[in-house]
Structure 1
Amino acid sequence: MSKKTPSLKKLYVEQVVPELVKSRGYKNKHEVPKLVKISINTGIDAEADKNQIADVQRDVAAIAGQKPVLAKSRKAIANFKLKQGQVVGCHVTLRSDAMWEFLYRLIAVALPTIRDFRGIPSKLDGQGNYNLGVTDHSIFPEISIENIKKHIGLDITIVTTAKSDDEGRELLRLLGMPFRRSEPVAPKAA
């Protein structure tokens, strides 16, 4: 039984790698930056009950395609009504084919459904990785709006092997990431 290659991975191998080799002048195809992993993270209210925690875990699992891990607090903080060992978040790390499938759904389906979408900021973290905050998880088609009791936000981190922000930005742009077009600044009238 042969496994089908994700379409975005196929695009990366057939078009993005040759384009980056040509534009950046890499001597070896292994120098070309590639995706390492995608991490999805969300926080859970300290006062959440077991049902809310299960709902968040179910929704993140539906979005990611694999079961997330619950993050627990390391120590008690009275001001935040937080006990040691209490569930405070949920995260999942995607690699290989699951990573490529999620990125395709994010770029092609989820981001364009955001109301008044004009692109995402093109600022990377200084090491070629991209962080994106999604304020409402219902933009993903896997989430049924009827079952949502509380909207959750997601932090999505795309980790690459790029050595600079410029390399990482070009890699993501060639993969189809809808970066915001920088508008030229109009000169001020004197």
Structure 2
Amino acid sequence: MSYFMKIYKEKIFWDLYYNYKFKNIMQIPYILKINLNSCCGNFFFDKKKINSFFLNINNICNQKPVFVKCKKSISEFKIKKNDNIAIKLTLRKKNMYNFLYKILNLSLPLIKSFEGLSVKSFDNFGNYNFGIKDYSIFPEVDSTISDLNFNIGLNISIVFKNSNIEKSFTFLNYLNFPFKDV
């Protein structure tokens, strides 16, 4: 069992239950999934760079990502229909909690002059979205594979079930999420 999964089941679950005085345990919020997205716009013609980026994302998440294909041709951008333009990945259950542990405890502290994540990144449903400017902060990124000369960003979305902004913020605070001081 993952460390964060164990913390959720033993501590956070019951803290949320008694804090918000839910009548039913099915009302307690939980993390449904984590979505990762990254655009390959700068190097989508170079198959070697896309392949190395694909392998690095696979090593980071222990799950195979999926290529997003272009739906129609755009001549201004020199994009043809069915060209690979992005990579997406959906993490659930054990992989989700392992990735969350990895990003909070190993990767975010490696960001130079990191001050914390913004509290304003919640949407109306309580989901939290943030971005990383350079994916090479993860320890699994192989520098021999990665011969990319520029930074590649990742968009990370944490999707909650049965939640709103206040409940999601409380949930992430129980996980010691590094928010900026308000």
Give yes or no for TM over 0.5. yes
Moved more, 40-49 or 159-168: 40-49
1:32 counterpart = 2:28: yes
Match of 2:62 among 55, 65, 71: 65
**In structure 2, what is the equivalent of residue 113 of structure 1?**
110
* CA–CA distance in structure 1, aligned partners of residues 87 and 180 of structure 2: 29
1:154 counterpart = 2:150: no
How many residue pairs get aligned? The number is 178
**Structure 1 residues 6 and 40 mapped into 2: Cα distance closer, same or farther (>3 Å)?**
same
Q: Percentage identity across aligned positions? A: 33
* CA–CA distance in structure 2, aligned partners of residues 162 and 131 of structure 1: 17
Q: How does 1:1-190 map to 2 (within 5 A)?
A: 5-45=1-41, 47-123=44-120, 124-150=122-148, 151-182=151-182
Say if 1:162 and 1:168, in contact at 8 Å, map to a contact too: no
Q: CA deviation at 1:144?
A: 2.8
SS in 1 for 2:76: helix
* CA–CA distance in structure 2, aligned partners of residues 8 and 134 of structure 1: 21
Contiguous gaps of at least 5 residues in structure 1:
183-190
**Structure 1 residues 87 and 38 mapped into 2: Cα distance closer, same or farther (>3 Å)?**
same
TM-score (normalizing by structure 2): 0.93
Between 1 and 2, higher relative CO (CA 8 Å, sep ≥ 6) is seen in 2
Per-residue CA deviation, residues 117-173 of structure 1 (Å, 9 max, x unaligned), is 111011201111111100000111111334422231101111001431111111111
**Structure 1 residues 152 and 87 mapped into 2: Cα distance closer, same or farther (>3 Å)?**
same
**In structure 2, what is the equivalent of residue 186 of structure 1?**
none
SS in 1 for 2:119: coil
Q: Which amino acid aligns with 1:14?
A: E
Q: CA deviation at 1:27?
A: 1.9
* CA–CA distance in structure 2, aligned partners of residues 117 and 146 of structure 1: 26
Say if 2:37 and 2:89, in contact at 8 Å, map to a contact too: yes
* CA–CA distance in structure 2, aligned partners of residues 99 and 149 of structure 1: 28
Q: CA deviation at 1:51?
A: 0.7
Q: Which amino acid aligns with 2:146?
A: I
Q: Which amino acid aligns with 1:157?
A: S
* CA–CA distance in structure 2, aligned partners of residues 44 and 99 of structure 1: 23
Q: CA deviation at 1:26?
A: 1.2
